Amino acid sequence: ASKAATISFFETLRIELGWSIGITIATPGFIDTNLASRVLEDEATMGRIPLGSAFECAKDIVKGACRGDMYVTNPSWVKVLFPCKVLYPELVDWAQRHILGLLPNSYEKKSNMLVSKNNEEVKAE
C-alpha cells in the first residue's frame, strides 16, 4: 500500500507542477540485491524468478530520468504484469504468492485475523 501511495503522490505532484520539474517514477521489479536474496532465500523460488541486475536497473533509471520518461521499469518483463494486474488483480496476486511460495496450507490471513478455509474465525491478532 505504501508503494501505491508513493506512486499516486508523485503522479499528483507531476500534474500540479506541470512541466516545470520532471518526475520519473521508478518501478523496479525483482532485482538481484541482498534484500531480494533474503526474501527469496529458497533456491527453488530463486530459480522461478528471473532477477534483473542492480547495475542495469540503476543505469535504466538514470537514462529514463535524463530522457524525461514518466516511468522506468526494470527488468522490462515486469511491464507485462501491469495490464494483467488491472484486468485480473486476484489472478496476479495468486500467481505472485505461488511463485514466492506463500500459498497458505490450511489458513489464510484476512485483515487482522486468521481464517480457516471454511471461513471460521480461528484467532484474532
**Could you give the CA distance from residue 93 to residue 97 in angstroms, rounded to a whole number?**
6
Residue whose C-alpha cell is 525483482 = 30
For 122, the 3-state DSSP assignment is: strand
Domain count, the chain: 1
Which of residues 112 and 106 earns the better pLDDT score? 112
Integer Cα distance of 27 and 91 in angstroms: 20
pLDDT digits (tens, 9 = 90+) for 45-75: 556 677 888 999 999 999 999 999 999 998 8
Q: What is the pLDDT of residue 113?
A: 47
Residue 9: what pLDDT?
A: 95
Domain enclosing residue 6, as ranges? 1-122
Q: Is pTM, for the whole model, over 0.85?
A: no
Encode pLDDT of 9-38 as tens digits: 999 999 999 888 899 999 888 788 877 666
Residues 6+ apart with CB under 8 A from 24: 61, 64, 65, 68, 69, 70, 71, 72
Cell numbers describing residue 102: 506463500
The percent of residues in the chain predicted with pLDDT above 70, rounded, is: 67
